Amino acid sequence: MRTVEAIEITKQIKEMCIEANHFLSPDMKKALETAAKQEDSILGKQILSQLEENLEIAGKDMIPICQDTGMAVIFIKVGQDVHIIGGNLENAINEGVRQGYQDGYLRKSVVEDPIERTNTKDNTPAVVHYKITEGDSIDITVVPKGFGSENMSRIFMLKPADGLEGVKEAILTAVKDAGPNACPPMIVGVGIGGTFEKCALMAKHALTRNLEERSSVPYLKDLEEEMLIKINGLGIGPGGLGGKMTALSVNIEAYPTHIAGLPVAVNICCHVNRHAHRVI
């Protein structure tokens, strides 16, 4: 049995919150560079160039890539042979978020109650998704999710008879409705199957996948490629001002579901698709 101090989890979460808000992952940077080369629209090219310049300035001067530094979403896989000592796991995670947003001078965007709207002033609590796995390590992914794109996300409770064509229409509907409001070029995360909440969780998790990787499931890989082409044919373009680079990637996850349903969730992320990953 391996032991891990709660304070070490706090330290890692703190650093990851700051890292994710100042630096995009290499695959995201490469995707933006490729999009700038492939965009035909002059205005679209200009916008993509500005996004690249913004990214460079953010990293150089340690300024957040976007003013919306997001609500912290944490995916954490805890090995069953790990014993956490010196504190409660969820408290350790939230303390890491608190320190990261305070010491990193990141915008505090979380309100304590969805109706009364009193700011918690430290960007906690985080939204935490746990998974127990084999082994003695702790795998952490920190996702600061901005709400410009989050607000454009959708869940569709389709009928089984709607089939694959219904799934395609749902994805296109969500992207069309989002239009410029999701700050394109966007990443489109899709969850198919499970239940109402499971498909949404898959769609969110899909956003963390390396953009250079396609699904290992053949029909999902084909669907990802087809939907990216169709989305980029909508003409929304960078910044919503026209062009063909509306999306950089479509990432899809699927899960078994009930005979009477076909849940589909579309979780959209803007061009600032932030996430940091570490293993303790």
Please report the pLDDT score of residue 142 as a whole number: 98
Rounded mean pLDDT, 72-86:
97
Number of domains in the chain: 2
Q: What is the pLDDT of residues 158-211, one digit of tens each?
A: 999 999 999 999 999 999 999 999 999 999 999 999 999 999 999 999 999 999
Is the domain of 269 the same as that of 157? yes
Is the domain of 165 the same as that of 117? no
Please report the pLDDT score of residue 156 as a whole number: 98
Is the domain of 90 the same as that of 156? no
Strands (E) across the chain are located at 2-5, 71-79, 82-85, 127-133, 138-145, 154-158, 186-194, 247-257, 262-269, 276-279
Range of the domain at 131: 2-20+65-145
Is the domain of 13 the same as that of 140? yes
Is the domain of 103 the same as that of 231? no
Is the domain of 69 the same as that of 167? no
Q: Please, are residues 100 and 106 in contact by the beta-carbon 8 Å criterion? A: yes
Is the domain of 93 the same as that of 168? no
**Token code pair at residue 82:** 């790990």
Is the domain of 188 the same as that of 152? yes
Does residue 93 lie in a domain region? yes
pTM of the model: 0.95
Does residue 39 lie in a domain region? no
Does residue 53 lie in a domain region? no
Sign for the CA dihedral angle at 61, 64, 65, 66 comes to: negative
Q: Please, are residues 64 and 87 in contact by the beta-carbon 8 Å criterion? A: no
Please report the pLDDT score of residue 101 as a whole number: 98
Is the domain of 154 the same as that of 126? no
Q: What is the pLDDT of residues 229-271, one digit of tens each?
A: 999 999 999 999 999 999 999 999 999 999 999 999 999 999 9
Is the domain of 10 the same as that of 88? yes
